[in-house]
A = this chain, B = another copy of it.
Amino acid sequence: MAGDGSDQRALQYEQTLMYGRYTQELGVYAKEEAARLRESGQRRSGDRSRTLDLLEYDKGRCAKCRICTVRCQKFLISRVGEDWIFLILLGLLMALVSWVVDFCIAICLQAQKWMYGGLDSNVFLQYLAWVTYPVVLITFSAGFTQILAPQAVGSGIPEMKTILRGVVLKEYLTFKTFVAKVIGLTCALGSGMPLGKEGPFVHIASLCAALLSKFMSLFGGIYENESRNIEMLAAACAVGVGCCFAAPIGGVLFSIEVTSTFFAVRNYWRGFFAATFSAFIFRVLAVWNRDEETITALFKTRFRLDFPFDLQELPAFAVIGIASGFGGALFVYLNRLIVQFIRKQKAINRFLMKKRLLYPALVTLLISTLTFPPGFGQFMAGKLTQKESLVTLLDNRTWAKQGIAEDFDYIGHSQAWKHPQLNVFVTLVLFIVMKFWMSALATTIPVPCGAFMPVFVIGAAFGRLVGESMAAWFPDGIHTDGTIYPIVPGGYAVVGAAALSGAVTHTVSTAVIVFELTGQISHILPVMIAVILANAVAQSLQPSLYDSIIRIKKLPYLPELGWGHHEKYNIRVEDIMVRDVRYITLNCCYRDLHNVLLTGHLKTLALVESAESMILLGSIERAQLQSLLSQQLGRPKRLEYIRERAAAEKKRLSVVSIPGSEDGGQRASQEVRFQISTEESSFSPTRPVPQKPLKPALKRPSVVERPTELPTSPQDNSGIALKNLFCASPDTEGLEDDGDVEDDMTIREIAEWEEKQLDEQVNFNNCKIDPAPFQLVERTSLHKTHTIFSLLGLDHAYVTSIGRLIGVVSLKELRKAIEGSVTVKGVKVRPPLASFRDSGTSSSENEATELHKLWDRHKSMSLPREHTPSESDEKSQ
């Protein structure tokens, strides 16, 4: 049992060190893990003996053959553990999923067009068909997702960012979610709403990776390692973007920018490998399906290579970048505003909550009514699907010639942009404005959907608008000497698409995605300039869309240090730390424990040597302390006490006492009383809503199957917890069979007994202590603290001074310090106490004094190694 304790502690420590888990179940999880490891060890040895048996049995016939088979099997199984096999499987799977989803979406969209086209005799019927179809699909998608797995709603990137930070989100990576996400996404995109598949694909790829991991763990043990799984999830995010756009490089970079704070270059190849393979298969499927002749880009452009743009066009590109920056920030703001408006309006909210599917249906109705081609849709190319719009926008022909849009030969889908009464500029402006708010609204529908693609299209339209204007302004191009190079508005569309999507997501890698999507890199400098400018503007105005959703969903996060806010280098930990640390001492009694648990609400508590020395020895989980306390005050302990008392009495009187008849009712009341006291100790009065324990998402199902074997924390189910503690405790094992002891104590007696128990000293022997919690010093800068917290995914860190605990910094303080000095609106506030820093010589004096004290204390203990000067004088002579 002691060995398991060490296992658990180590496991737990490693997890807390690397990933600040937001769960109280950690102790339980660790025990489960240990139990599982033990069991798998037994199973393995069992396998071995069985193999040996087999060998002996078949010795006569074809033993060699069998040995060979067993070896081959072993070899294959060991190979299965290799990373690249996993990555190939993941890539293959995701390419298939992506292709199938695309195929289904295409069929859905075709069906709508077919219906709409077939009913051209009656406009009203046409309208009904145009509107009903998406409403039904979206409602089905919303309902299906709601019923099967509400976790599948939305983009998935914010949640993946949180998971990759080490936070365990419940039910987030299960098969149910996978099914809900894939089917929900297909229906949502099949409806033709301005929604994207990129965010959900990141989530789907992560789901695939998690499920594949689970499946592969049947073959090899390596799939049970958590840090490996996190690495695989990071690769999966890259695969998700990669196979969605057939953009392996952009996918890897985008997923890194969007999900990570610190990226291990070690993991780089994983992402590239899987994403390339996935993109390859995705495009090969298109070739095999005779859609394409060979592997090319998804939205291939054909701009001229020799003179892609003139140097004098660069200001126009810069304007696109800056405008996109403002537009991106506005999009994020609008999206958040809509969510918050719906939440705040309680009347609306209550109504919508009752009819959960009404909101999606209403939004879809509004949007599809506005895009109805014979209606308002004719002014904004409403009949084009997202893909068709993008293809036409990236076209390398100029729509507007000589300022008039008439003499452009509209072929194919490009015809949609032509309107008899309006010129192409008005159509484009209407398209941009309408699509802008429609996309912001549509992404709030509770279906699996992303915002990248709609934003991308809007950006392309904006770029095209600027490009067409430039082409109308300079019909023969700007270049002055010799050859005429007309302006290519398609190039502007590429730049606009990259800039706006970069501004919304706060990423630079949209530039790479754009190159991979169009298959041309000739506009690299304009794209880079526009993307960087857009990022600079957007980042100074709003958080990224994903961070905005993280804040709306109240997921744990750590804000980024912004662009060059160099005052961060001057704030120190001592300015932000909480000095009033809750701690327990090594020699404290259970009453102190009880008090600390009652007053504080931290998930872990510091263990110090004594209140005088304050030397930090480690940290203990709250749940651990709770279980210690309930063990001390629990029924088993009391029964033991009664038995001892009885034994003593027996000795004294030598008479067997007969159990009382009032036993049953009284016991129940005690049970209740005890439960109440546990409740009190586990939850502080300042926090009325108990924090929900988050389950580790990647844990194996076998653990879930046998919950009664595992001790759970007392607030979950005290009875079972106590029973477990009872069984698990080695020194009370003999008690279980001791049926002759009966609980005959009165309530007063119990209260007395509990008071007595509370005054005993705590025995930390069976308690899991994290012996090396992360430590900082007072003068560590905020900048470095932020780095360390995000590097190691910490939740809190203790501030020490020569081993003495003097403060604690948690994610909350850090967040406050960063956002306090740089608020979203750009107002900079000096952090409290920062002004005292320069004259802060007192702390070091304190340190010296404290060190002296410690030293004097040791001196007074008079250890044998100490010599007086006179002694040494004698010795040396």
A-to-B contact residues, CB < 8 Å: 2-3, 5-7, 9-11, 13-14, 17-18, 41, 81-84, 222, 225, 227-228, 248-249, 253, 256-257, 260-266, 268-269, 272-273, 276, 279-280, 283-284, 287, 293-297, 300, 302, 305-311, 479, 508, 511-512, 515-516, 519-522, 524-525, 528-529, 532, 535-536, 560-561, 563-564, 566, 569, 586-589, 609-612, 615-618, 751-752, 755-756, 758-761, 764-765, 769-772, 775-781, 783-784, 787-788, 791-792, 800-804, 838, 840-841, 843-845, 847-848, 851-852, 854-855, 858-859, 863, 865-867, 869, 871-873, 875-877
Could you tell me if B841 and A248 are in contact, using CB atoms closer than 8 angstroms?
no
Could you tell me if A777 and B788 are in contact, using CB atoms closer than 8 angstroms?
no
Q: Indicate which residue in B3, B222, B276, B311 contacts A569 across the interface (CB closer than 8 Å).
A: B222
Residues on B with C-beta less than 8 A from A7 are 779, 844
With known contacts A776-B772, A781-B14, A851-B764, A276–B617 Cβ distance under 8 A: no
Q: Indicate which residue in B14, B249, B775, B859 contacts A512 across the interface (CB closer than 8 Å).
A: B249
Could you tell me if B872 and A759 are in contact, using CB atoms closer than 8 angstroms?
yes
**Roughly how many angstroms separate A838 CA and B45 CA in the complex, as a whole number?**
13
Could you tell me if B618 and A524 are in contact, using CB atoms closer than 8 angstroms?
no
Could you tell me if A528 and B587 are in contact, using CB atoms closer than 8 angstroms?
no
User: Which of A248, A294, A529 gathers most chain B CB within 10 Å?
Assistant: A294
The 5 A-B pairs with the shortest beta carbon distances in the complex, nearest first, are A3-B841, A6-B844, A10-B779, A759-B872, A755-B876
CB distance from A594 to the nearest CB of B (A): 13
Could you tell me if A569 and B227 are in contact, using CB atoms closer than 8 angstroms?
yes
Could you tell me if B272 and A294 are in contact, using CB atoms closer than 8 angstroms?
no
User: Which of A295, A297, A769, A841 gathers most chain B CB within 10 Å?
Assistant: A295
Could you tell me if B269 and A284 are in contact, using CB atoms closer than 8 angstroms?
no
CB distance from A285 to the nearest CB of B (A): 12
Residues on B with C-beta less than 8 A from A280 are 525, 529
Could you tell me if A521 and B528 are in contact, using CB atoms closer than 8 angstroms?
no
Q: List 24 A-B contacts (CB under 8 A).
A: A10-B780, A14-B777, A81-B566, A84-B564, A227-B783, A227-B787, A249-B524, A269-B532, A276-B525, A276-B528, A276-B532, A280-B529, A294-B307, A515-B515, A516-B521, A611-B865, A751-B876, A761-B855, A761-B859, A761-B866, A764-B855, A765-B852, A775-B775, A791-B792
Residues on B with C-beta less than 8 A from A294 are 307-311, 479
CB distance from A620 to the nearest CB of B (A): 10
Could you tell me if A6 and B847 are in contact, using CB atoms closer than 8 angstroms?
yes
**Roughly how many angstroms separate A772 CA and B82 CA in the complex, as a whole number?**
38
Residue of B nearest to A512 (CB): B249
Could you tell me if A508 and B784 are in contact, using CB atoms closer than 8 angstroms?
no
With known contacts A13-B777, A803-B617, A511–B18 Cβ distance under 8 A: no
**Roughly how many angstroms separate A848 CA and B302 CA in the complex, as a whole number?**
73
Copies in the complex: 2
**Roughly how many angstroms separate A308 CA and B775 CA in the complex, as a whole number?**
57
CB distance from A306 to the nearest CB of B (A): 8
**Roughly how many angstroms separate A479 CA and B294 CA in the complex, as a whole number?**
9
CB distance from A801 to the nearest CB of B (A): 5
Could you tell me if B858 and A586 are in contact, using CB atoms closer than 8 angstroms?
yes
Could you tell me if B227 and A784 are in contact, using CB atoms closer than 8 angstroms?
yes
Q: Indicate which residue in B14, B615, B755, B851 contacts A765 across the interface (CB closer than 8 Å).
A: B851
CB distance from A276 to the nearest CB of B (A): 4
**Roughly how many angstroms separate A175 CA and B262 CA in the complex, as a whole number?**
32
Could you tell me if B848 and A2 are in contact, using CB atoms closer than 8 angstroms?
yes
Could you tell me if A225 and B800 are in contact, using CB atoms closer than 8 angstroms?
no
Residues on B with C-beta less than 8 A from A871 are 759
**Roughly how many angstroms separate A82 CA and B563 CA in the complex, as a whole number?**
9
Could you tell me if B508 and A516 are in contact, using CB atoms closer than 8 angstroms?
no
**Roughly how many angstroms separate A873 CA and B757 CA in the complex, as a whole number?**
9
With known contacts A775-B772, A852-B765, A305–B83 Cβ distance under 8 A: no
**Roughly how many angstroms separate A3 CA and B84 CA in the complex, as a whole number?**
56
Q: Indicate which residue in B307, B755, B758, B788 contacts A293 across the interface (CB closer than 8 Å).
A: B307
**Roughly how many angstroms separate A858 CA and B519 CA in the complex, as a whole number?**
73
Known contacts A14-B784, A294-B479, A587-B855; 10 additional CB pairs below 8 A are A2-B845, A13-B780, A249-B512, A276-B529, A586-B851, A587-B858, A611-B865, A759-B867, A761-B859, A771-B775
CB distance from A650 to the nearest CB of B (A): 22
Q: Indicate which residue in B273, B858, B865 contacts A532 across the interface (CB closer than 8 Å).
A: B273
**Roughly how many angstroms separate A287 CA and B481 CA in the complex, as a whole number?**
13
Could you tell me if A283 and B525 are in contact, using CB atoms closer than 8 angstroms?
yes
Residues on B with C-beta less than 8 A from A256 are 265
Residues on B with C-beta less than 8 A from A841 are 2-3, 6
Could you tell me if B528 and A248 are in contact, using CB atoms closer than 8 angstroms?
yes
CB distance from A588 to the nearest CB of B (A): 8
